[in-house]
Structure 1
């Protein structure tokens, strides 16, 4: 495979890597950096790729390993070792607490948006969210399965519109 063909194939697959990068880093800017590092490593090591194998899986593996390496490097850099007799880790993650305010605001917004849904959409959506299958919802609410699917679809669409501020930018 030529470098041009390899680059073209990576370009087709790279869009599916961004959600994985966001999931790993939980930050859009860090995800962009991780994606760039991954693509750079893939291109510089293209001779290690075996043609005919799953390119997407190969790139996912590179991304995961790059993330782990960067994370370990960051942890080592941010850990100070006390050389006294007690030998405590000063910046140990055991003593950290996470600020839950953002999560609290997000959950409140989601609950509000769900509560604002019309009852006809909210009930099937919440049942599906709680794990009920389409046919179970259909039986319990005595409505056709197609109606169940349609109402859940509409509920998701309305929630997406109401909660647009939490969407990741592509």
Structure 2
């Protein structure tokens, strides 16, 4: 198929493509851009088109794939559209910094409460808190696995009860996560 024939057939389908693009994007300007992108790709890869097949379906597949690829790109970038005047400097790429002072004080108080536990509950709890697995703790302390699990469970509940008298459940959850 020659370039002129291809161009003529493409022009005949332009309104259909625009309608499909408008349906995908829900925006007239974006739909025009999508039709333009489809035209570019169709002419670039027209040698891959099989002349006796459905040109409309081939073009709509190109358009749909271009739309999906663009959507994925925008999703990855997660850009912030700034529609405000440029009177203010915005830095949307930086994360907000939170004040860790309250967390630090709460952690210090939590460790004070942990230190009030008896050794048989405090030591397994601290080992588990530091990332050791139950089996590792049981082996290290030479105590049965079920006993270790019970001691950690007991220490956790005692710690929760004492901390709840000081803080709300939400505050405790935020600190421990």
* Normalised-by-shorter TM-score class: 0.3 to 0.5
> So what's the TM-score if we normalise by structure 2?
0.44
Higher Cα Rg: structure 1 or 2? 2
> So what's the TM-score if we normalise by structure 1?
0.46
